[in-house]
Chains A and B, each alone.
Chain A
């Protein structure tokens, strides 16, 4: 047993540093509508029949559930290598890193007792064992690709279901620890970049409309977090009395097209009526990011958001304001795509992710206090945003 834990721990160290130097697929800036829809995610909550929910489980029962689910998940054919991380045994820094990459939730990082996560190497699939429910599986993809996510997660769920008995009632569907997840246990989410709605003062209206449609709005890192850098996660709240496909269809046919239309209209409005506002934000962001010696994670996310907007408006709307022209002349160090000589969305996304606190420390090789992190972050961003020679 000890030898087994050791192997998993070694695997963890190897794998985390393997992946910490680059962004994951869902944050690659590709996929349909990716100028606004950063990523699509579908998560299913499941519990094993014959066991208590986690709040009433002893550590021995949690360990038993963990062992059973881990074996099943590691044997799945996902078309990718899978690996396991023992969340309760790993360091707080590693846990934070996993949260930053959306591979586990904050709740999972902070929970108590035996728990773990199974991750596909390309990070499109993760399965949290012993989070709030016994099992939470999720598929994450770049851009607007909810139908693909739904097909894939359903197939994986079917494969797991062959090997276990889920807690299910004909009346309430899949039984979850919290009644808010009851029924389908599905959480459909999209992460949206909505800087123009914010700049044009329409974001509050949008947030209120989304709430009226029974949608939850969260920040970059899920429940309880503020929207950082104009990134918003929108997800369904109703999981009972409506089918999985209906929820997905509602997002794809109604919610996403409407939000995309509003954000695009706000971007067009910035170009036609508020060019100075737009250029001021982009120019200030460039000046600060190219010169700052200390920069917090929150400020970096906020400023990088404006560069992302400028680049996307150039690429998708042909915008060529003075500030956007200057932005497009940046070299974009770290851009590995040869044909894109200038600054790319991928580079901006890399900076988004790689300058988050746990990423910075893991890549630097040791833990750093806030001031040192701010200095290192500023240095990485400065060198990535050098002026084209």
Chain B
């Protein structure tokens, strides 16, 4: 991704601002960040990220509220306290049950992304596959336009038209 200010260098600093519930993102290079007076701290390795994030959080109550703290997965018995200790979930169902609590961590770990875009198992019903594909193609089209890869963008647009 290119820097949104100079449009020349690779964007290595990603700023997310949430203002009155509206989220805006900015992607810039180190050089432009320095010019704008934005200090860039080196990023923490992802394998340290979750434990650091969790260590920074004093209690679940303060972040997720009492209701999240008492929540327990009916299938595996998992609680957020388990996650704090082990850094892993108890069963696939936990992603649904604890979605609200996990979402910020997921976004931090995946560079702000929180929606799958990639392989879909063949067993997933055709309609669902199509919807996921359309959503993925739209995102890819956006990225291609942003990076000025117009040839790729045209290919993606044609593919989208075929699907819709």
Contact = CB atoms under 8 A, between A and B. Distances in A.
Interface stretch (A10-18, A35-43, A50-58, A347-355): A50-58
A238 B111 contact: yes
A166 B136 CA distance: 21
Q: Which one of A154, A180, A216 has the highest number of Cβ atoms from chain B below 10 Å of its Cβ? A: A180
Given A56-B78, A161-B122, A216-B45, A242 B88 contact: no
Contacts of A53: 76, 88-92
A244 interface: yes
Nearest to B13: A212
B110 A239 contact: yes
B150 interface: no
B110 A177 contact: no
A182 B118 contact: no
B8 interface: no
Interface stretch (B16-24, B61-69, B101-109): B101-109
A233 to B, nearest CB: 13
Contact of B92 (A132, A167, A211): A167
B162 interface: no
A336 interface: no
A179 B42 contact: no
Contacts of B77: 56
Contacts of A49: 92
B interface secondary structure, majority: loop
Contact of A183 (B75, B116, B123): B116
Interface in B119-159: 119-124, 128, 131-132, 136, 139-140
A241 B50 contact: no
A180 B50 contact: yes
Contacts of A177: 88-89
Given A55-B86, A56-B77, A182 B91 contact: no
A183 B113 CA distance: 10
Nearest to A165: B123
A180 B88 CA distance: 9
A237 interface: yes
A288 interface: no
Contacts of B86: 55
Contacts of B92: 47, 49, 53, 167, 169, 175
Most chain B CB neighbours (cut-off 10 Å) among A55, A154, A175: A55
Contacts of A186: 118
Contact of A52 (B30, B47, B91, B119): B91
A128 to B, nearest CB: 16
B161 interface: no
B164 interface: no
Contact of B113 (A170, A217, A238): A238
Contacts of A269: none
A155 B87 CA distance: 31
A179 B106 contact: yes
Interface string A176-201: 01111011101000000000000000
A179 B102 contact: yes
A240 interface: yes
Interface of B: 10, 12, 30, 42-43, 45-47, 49-50, 75-78, 82, 86-92, 95-96, 102, 105-106, 109-124, 128, 131-132, 136, 139-140
Given A177-B88, A184-B118, 13 more contacts: A53-B91, A170-B132, A172-B106, A175-B95, A177-B89, A180-B49, A212-B12, A216-B46, A217-B45, A223-B47, A240-B106, A240-B110, A243-B117
Nearest 6 CB-CB pairings of A with B: A241-B113, A173-B116, A167-B92, A56-B90, A237-B46, A240-B110
